[in-house]
Amino acid sequence: MIGGVPALIKVLLIFTLVLVLNRLWLHLGLALILGTMAMGLWFGNGATGSLLIIFRGVSDSECILLIIAIYNILTLTQLMSRTGQMQRMITSVRALAPSRRIALAILPAIIGFLSMPGGAAVSAPMVEAADEEKSLDPAQKTAINYWFRHAWEFWWPLYPGTLLAYEMSGLTAWQFATVQMPLSLFSLIFGAIFLLLPLRLGPRKAHPTGKISNLVLSMFPIILLMGVWVVAGAITSRFTRSNYPPLLLGIWAAMTWVHFMGGADKKTWMDILKNKKTLLILVVVAGVKVFSRMLGTPVPGGEKIVDLVGRNLKTLHIPELLIVMLIPFISGIVTGLGVGFVGSSFPIVLSLAAKNPAVTHIMSYVVLGYGFGYIGMMLSPVHVCFVLSNEYFNTSTMRAYKKIWLPSMGILCAAGLLSYIASHFG
């Protein structure tokens, strides 16, 4: 306890301040930086000391590499969109889909491999086109578009929030994927059971027969990225523990392919490189890193803030798992962003996990916190993809909620199950 107020209460109040500031339309990155400053002052580091911690946070080599990686990821997705590579991929997939239900789901799922703000707006017209008889309820199409669009966000590294969670967790790529990938499988299963099977559809209209070769060619940038990442990672692991150099090599290889195949001109590149939304996401990443650094900084007296919080929890007997579930869930609802709920809640989640350094314990907390934060994000009324899907299909938020609440509950149960398995049988 410092200054009469328990460290836990201080951190929770500052956390609430960050969410409220963001809800009042202050950018999340700036809200996190202000929250970091407030934390430093309240815990006695002073203005100069707090500013120094913030500077060290953003100038850290891992922070710089993370920002570079996310910037390049978002640049690649925009380049694929602007050169038509994405549309070619979608056309190939539609031609190969064996049924109308699969056609409805696979199009947003393919778009989901490419992280982009408001990506559901890209896949919505495709879902509408797949409804060939125009017989589906708008809320059904909203739910299908929205749910399958985000099925990969638990582990796919092109999502800034996923990459941030992976980097913050300290897990290896294999450990992170092992515990997170099953959530994508559960997402597809629950989406099929609750969103696709209830549909009443007539026979599919005839389409030109698709070719596997066309699909492979259209998805080659993604295949190239993953291939270079794996091969380069095996080589660079002998010299560095950082995962960013091989990832960047994979992204740059994919960019080079898309550029030469798509013929992006100078104006296209300048528009992409100066994209405002991309730059704002980078501010969020910087805010996350300084917020995390402050939590791990010793305060007057020598103890770190996270250690003080842990001591408070033991004294108050608050169930840790309840905190691990609720804080990311609330963050997801308030921010409506993967990078938002990870950035604002995972410093607390991982500080609790750090008390037991066993890898399986950390994996248990990561999958539980991420699963609950993800569903909070999916149920958020300020999630851009949710808003855009509802707007495109001209349906209300409540009607869409009625379609996605059952698969959402399924994911929460699955996250709890995977957390239990990781902690007891890992």
Q: Which domain holds residue 320?
A: 7-425
The predicted structure's pLDDT at residue 414:
97
Q: Percent helix, strand and coil across the chain, each rounded to 5?
A: 75, 0, 25
- With beta carbons less than 8 A apart as the criterion, state whether 250 and 229 touch: yes
Residues 6+ away with beta carbon under 8 Å from 155: 162, 176, 177, 180, 181, 183, 184
- With beta carbons less than 8 A apart as the criterion, state whether 149 and 111 touch: yes
The predicted structure's pLDDT at residue 11:
82
The predicted structure's pLDDT at residue 118:
59
The verdict on residue 1 lying in a domain is no
Residues 6+ away with beta carbon under 8 Å from 325: 368, 369, 372
* Two tokens, residue 291: 């917020």
Write the pLDDT tens digit of every residue in 76-88. 878 887 888 877 8
Closest of 75, 62, 76 to residue 226, by C-alpha: 76
The predicted structure's pLDDT at residue 262:
78
The secondary structure of 271-300 as a DSSP string is HHHT-HHHHHHHHHHHHHHHHHHHHTSBPT
Q: What are the residue ranges in the chain where pLDDT is below 50?
A: 2
The verdict on residue 2 lying in a domain is no
Total domains in the fold of the chain: 1
The predicted structure's pLDDT at residue 3:
54
The predicted structure's pLDDT at residue 232:
87
146 SS3 class: helix
Q: Which residues on neighbouring strands pair with residue 298, listed in sequence order?
A: 304
The predicted structure's pLDDT at residue 177:
92
The predicted structure's pLDDT at residue 165:
93
The predicted structure's pLDDT at residue 147:
96
370 to 176, 329, 342, 416: CA distances (angstroms)? 11, 9, 7, 11
Residue at token pair 């969410």:
19
What global pTM score does this model have? Answer: 0.72
